Structure formats: C-alpha cells, structure tokens
Amino acid sequence: MFKKQSTIQFLMFGVAIGESMTQLSNSQQEALLQQPMNFQQDLRWGAQTSLALTTVASLSRGYQLADVMNHFQNWYRKRQFAPEKTIQHVDVITKKAMDNYIKNRDTLSSGVFEDTADSEDILVRMLPVALYLHHEYGVSFINDEMAMLTLHRIAGLTHNDEGALVSVGMLSLIVSQLLEKQSIRDAVENGLAFGFEYYSRHKVFASELSAFEELNLPDFANIPVSNMTLDGRSASTLEAVIWSLLNSDSYTEAMHNAFLHGHANSVVPTIVSAIAAIVYQEELILQASQYLVSRKLIVGVASQAERLGRFN
C-alpha cells in the first residue's frame, strides 16, 4: 500500500509516466499497465516533464513571470530539472524563445508569435498552471482577468500564438472542472462552454474558435479514431486528448486510447496520463512511479509545492 498522495503529486507522476511510456515498445507498455509490480526497467522521462517541474518549482513560491522564465533558463542552459538518464529534446519554438530571452532579457517579447507557435508542445508544461490558478482563484478563474492574464503570459513566454493560447485556456478550464470532481463528460462540456464564451468576447482570439468546433459536437466521443488527424497543432492534439479521456473508465483504458492515435506522438499520451492520473488516482500510477528515473526529484518538487500550499 502507498500513502495518500496530493493532486500535484499525481499530476507530476502522470506526466512523467506518460512521457516515459512513449519510449517503450507496445509489449513493454502493456507489461507496465497490466503488471506494474513486475516491471523490470527504468522509465525515462524527458523535456516535457522537466518543463512541468520547472513550472511547479517556480509557482510554488507564488507567481512572478520573470522567475518562471529564470527556471526555464536554468533548465535550458544549466540542465536543472534534467538529470542523468532523462531524454532532453528542446522543441524548435521553445529553443527560439529561450534564445530570444538570452538576447533581449524581456519576458514579454521572448515568446514566438508566428503561426508555427500554435504547437502542441506548449500543452504539457501548462498543466500545473491550471492547478495553480484553480487553487489561487477557484473554479471560476476565467472570470478574473488577472488569472487569465497569468495563464496567457506564462504560456506566451514561449508560444505566443493566439491559437496556442486558446488551446491552453480550454485545457486549463477542463482541468479546473475536473478538480471540482465533475465527471469527464461534464468537465469537458462545461470547460468548453466557459472557454467559448470567454474567447468569443475577445476579438484577438475569436477567429481561433473555429478550430475547436468539432469538440462541441454532441457525439464527439463517438467519432472513429481513424477520422482524427494529428498535425502538431495544439487544437488537434487537444481533440485527441479529450477523445481518449471521454472514452475511458480507468487509467489503463485512457492510456490504451491515447496510443490509438499513433506511437509517433509523445504529447497526447503524456497529457492523457497526467489528467487520467488526477481523475482516477489509481494505485497503478504509484506502482509505476517506482520505476521513474530521478523519482526523488519529482517527489521533492511536488512535495515542496504541497507544503507551500500553492496547488490543489
């Protein structure tokens, strides 16, 4: 038996396990999910988990945009939160933003504005921000402009395209509903409704909403997986994540669904694992976490966050 874990602990274990599973073969993934106590190898997480850890470490002390960027820089330049045996790959947009900041030292101009910045690579590191905002502002944080500005500015440190920011907002609103113990179906429905209402009122974002219309279809969960296309953009990845969760009743089923979208994509399984971990909170997640490389780092960052009281 494992002692009771906090939500932030489950989230970070979920992120790390999900990202690690993308490095495993089909048979290894199944062995981990079916008999985790008999698993025989390391789970090697990577840059997505590292960036989520840096975000938690910074926000644990309260929100300061410059401090969030400084934590990113320490990861990028000094390999903090990127221990030995982890697999570190810096995506093109994040690299450009990190280099922009090194050159200009300006958090508000470091992020990439081009259309290529509407990338799925922003989504994982923003998951802890959803927990932080829910704790600081409550489930209705969308009604607080300071909360939404915080969300968009943290995302915009790297990916400052409007489409990416809307995806981050939609995902965060759904997570916030889940933290209120709503069912996945209700959380998706309510989170999307709040998101559409908010972003439609802001001219700079309104034109991006067409990318999310399929998510609003009443039978979205019944769409064949073969009809879904992952193109690297944030909205299509969000669709795959939500589809995987809507069609699940357990962590294992959610992960099986995530890998139906293809093994070339690492972001979908990572997000699905993170959200399914906080929804289902199964002992399987704690058992699998025993194989994470540098597990003590993850536990330490999450424990500090819990102790300082900034997260659920």
Per-residue pLDDT tens over the stretch 3-54: 678 999 999 999 999 999 999 999 999 999 999 999 989 999 999 999 999 9
**Alpha carbon distances (Å) from 53 to 32, 63, 71, 221:** 23, 15, 9, 31
User: Whole-model pTM above 0.75?
Assistant: yes
* Residue spans of alpha helices (H) in 79-207: 92-104, 127-137, 145-156, 162-179, 184-200, 203-206
Domain-embedded: residue 247: yes
pLDDT of residue 4: 76
Percent of the chain surpassing pLDDT 70: 99
Instruction: Please provide residue 33's backbone torsions phi and psi, each rounded to the nearest 5 degrees.
Output: -75, -35
pLDDT of residue 312: 63
Report the distance separating Cα 158 and Cα 255, nearest Å.
28
Average pLDDT over residues 177-182: 97
Q: What's the whole-number mean pLDDT along residues 220-249?
A: 96
Asked whether residue 255 is domain-assigned, the answer is yes
300 domain-assigned: yes
Considering the domain boundaries, does residue 129 fall inside one? yes
Q: Residue 250 gets which letter from DSSP?
A: S
Residue 2 within a domain: no
- Give the range with max mean pLDDT: 36-40, 95-99, 214-218: 95-99
pLDDT tier at 91, thresholds 50, 70, 90: very high
Query: d(Cα 269, Cα 49) in Å, to the nearest integer?
Result: 12
Residue 256 reports pLDDT greater than 70: yes
- Work out how many domains the chain is built from and give that number: 1
Position 252 in a domain: yes
Tell me which residue range forms the domain holding 77.
7-308
Residue 1 clears pLDDT 70, i.e. is over it: no
Residue 1 lies in a domain: no
What CATH number is given to the structural domain containing 192?
1.10.4080.10
| Coil/strand/helix, residue 292 | strand
CA–CA gap between residue 230 and residue 244 (Å, rounded): 13
Place of tokens 């600081």: 136
Token pair 């400052």 is at which residue?
Answer: 160
Q: Does residue 20 lie within any of the structural domains?
A: yes
Average pLDDT of the residues in 187-198? 97
